[in-house]
Structure 1
């Protein structure tokens, strides 16, 4: 069984479902509201655990009701929370509007996630013993960089999701093994709108890149190899929130199990396709038997 550590955010997602997202200054009536545990870090941890990995979460929640629920949700999915700190003040929140086509817009308020600004000494051993470390950008860059450096020092594969998109310091990219942006994040990082061109440019900074393309699948690029495009299953999306995190969590599991790249990407795409057919982020993430059944069909 592959061993994965996630250093990242935990948020409570406050989700409003509408026919059409409001424009600036506009008020619309929603059809439903839900509170769903999320955050890119917690989402990836839950996705990886449900896909069959042993997972530990490094991060922070507040000492509020949201924090208690976030911790319980991670533990219910089999994620080890020994390295999930509880801080004074509110937990992180994400305010999400989901339209009738399953598209979303999101405002993240960091809360306790802002305190995750470094790797604590007790976290280093957790990272050192893992097969892979998953990182995102909803916690301060100082912690993301420290985590990547710790992983590199111990020969642990580092998988970075550069979201929310922002300029990345060269030293972080130098400590990253696999970069997994979506096509918009790839464009923001390179200034190139064509995913193949963006991936080629990113290979000057990291050895491997997977650009996720939504319903079109994913593009894999590695130094010295021809780019590989892998389609995604065709499904009707209900809510795409968390689909990218589901993909990354499942991909980390598949790569940790030494599956060939094409198979790993297809397996991860199957997990993401299952997730978009359900409402919510962490609540929508499939378990391993569902992924295996979907992949085999």
Structure 2
């Protein structure tokens, strides 16, 4: 098998985050589920945007955020995702390429517009997300760069994008390409609502060995396994996935790989500003360690450090020097 040109190639939603501070009362008034992620249509997106306070626009999307962290750590990355031929599409493409990530997916003309996520951040740092998927849900299998997928050590797939039919077909095709090239497939479950709709697919992929690295938080673990007890949920998947990584917010994270189990505590932080992207950046740190052959506990530590950086400021992309932050971690 040839040496890969990319460490990680990801397929995910190409979205621009629109973020604003919010009160708990506003969350209630707008009928949102606090701390959750809800898919919205064009009309609802316009209504929520009108109700927001002063906002910041930052390119986002779960898998794209993970790549931003990986690239900041020094990994070679590529992204596949669909934007429209519009201003936000140009913003997204500029931002991801400026981060040193290869992005060559052709733009899509006409409606719908480029996706955006309207994020309301309450004083405790909790984020309530309302996602208009827009053009991102129309990523066709024909848009895949199969040569790039075959030339990446890890194919990383975003669970959010499993919901729409067209990109789901694209990701199934991408798994086949990666498998055919002898590469690894990593999958992040993204949200409990995705599991409710497509849990049977995910179980089938686990049973057939299509997932080498599975990322989840403890709520997603419970939703996927049907086990309310954390240890029971871990036990039900540990022997079926080569690498299982589960984050637990302030309780840290646990990983099981090849019979080895490791735990990392959450990094201490003076104040949580915004939890947007915490899981995405945790995955970035973990994958960075994994593709470089680091021990399991070091992979978890890298993830925890990257997650702690992103929750200390607004936005889901790193602002501090991640290389400097992880420099003291052995390896």
Tell me the TM-score normalised to structure 2 length.
0.81
* Aligned residue number for residue 15 of structure 1: 19
Equivalent pair of 1:145/1:172 in contact (CA under 8 Å): no
For 1:277 and 1:231, the matched residues in 2 are separated by 17
**Aligned with 2:264 (options 215, 218, 230):** 230
**Structure 2 vs 1, CA of residues 25 and 239 (structure 1 numbering), >3 Å: closer, same or farther?**
closer
Q: Matches of residues 1-297 of structure 1 in structure 2 within 5 Å? A: 3-20=7-24, 22-23=27-28, 25=30, 32-82=54-104, 84-88=105-109, 89=111, 90-118=113-141, 120=143, 123-139=145-161, 140-164=167-191, 165-166=194-195, 167-168=198-199, 169=201, 170-173=203-206, 174-203=209-238, 205-223=240-258, 225-235=259-269, 236-282=271-317, 284-293=318-327, 295=329
Q: Which runs of 4+ in 1 moved over 3 A?
A: 24-32, 284-288, 293-296
How many residue pairs get aligned? The number is: 292
Tell me the TM-score normalised to structure 1 length.
0.90
Q: Which structure 1 segments of 5+ residues have no match? A: none
For 1:272 and 1:77, the matched residues in 2 are separated by 18
Equivalent pair of 1:19/1:30 in contact (CA under 8 Å): no
Tell me the SS of whatever aligns to 1:37.
Answer: strand
Q: Which structure 2 segments of 5+ residues have no match? A: 33-47, 162-166
- Higher mean Cα deviation, 26-35 or 228-237? 26-35
**Structure 2 vs 1, CA of residues 25 and 292 (structure 1 numbering), >3 Å: closer, same or farther?**
closer
| Post-superposition CA distance 1:134-172 (Å, at most 9, x none) | 111232322222222221221111111011332241443
Q: CA deviation at 1:188?
A: 1.2
Tell me the SS of whatever aligns to 1:36.
Answer: strand
Q: CA deviation at 1:31?
A: 5.8
For 2:130 and 2:27, the matched residues in 1 are separated by 14
For 2:301 and 2:181, the matched residues in 1 are separated by 29
For 1:81 and 1:2, the matched residues in 2 are separated by 12
Q: CA deviation at 1:266?
A: 0.3
Equivalent pair of 1:177/1:207 in contact (CA under 8 Å): yes
Q: CA deviation at 1:260?
A: 0.5
Q: CA deviation at 1:295?
A: 4.8
**Structure 2 vs 1, CA of residues 254 and 52 (structure 1 numbering), >3 Å: closer, same or farther?**
same
Tell me the SS of whatever aligns to 2:275.
Answer: coil
| Post-superposition CA distance 1:15-70 (Å, at most 9, x none) | 12123252155699866421111011211121111111111111111111100000
**Whose helix fraction is larger, Structure 1's or Structure 2's?**
2
For 1:4 and 1:105, the matched residues in 2 are separated by 29
For 2:290 and 2:274, the matched residues in 1 are separated by 26
- Higher mean Cα deviation, 197-206 or 209-218? 197-206
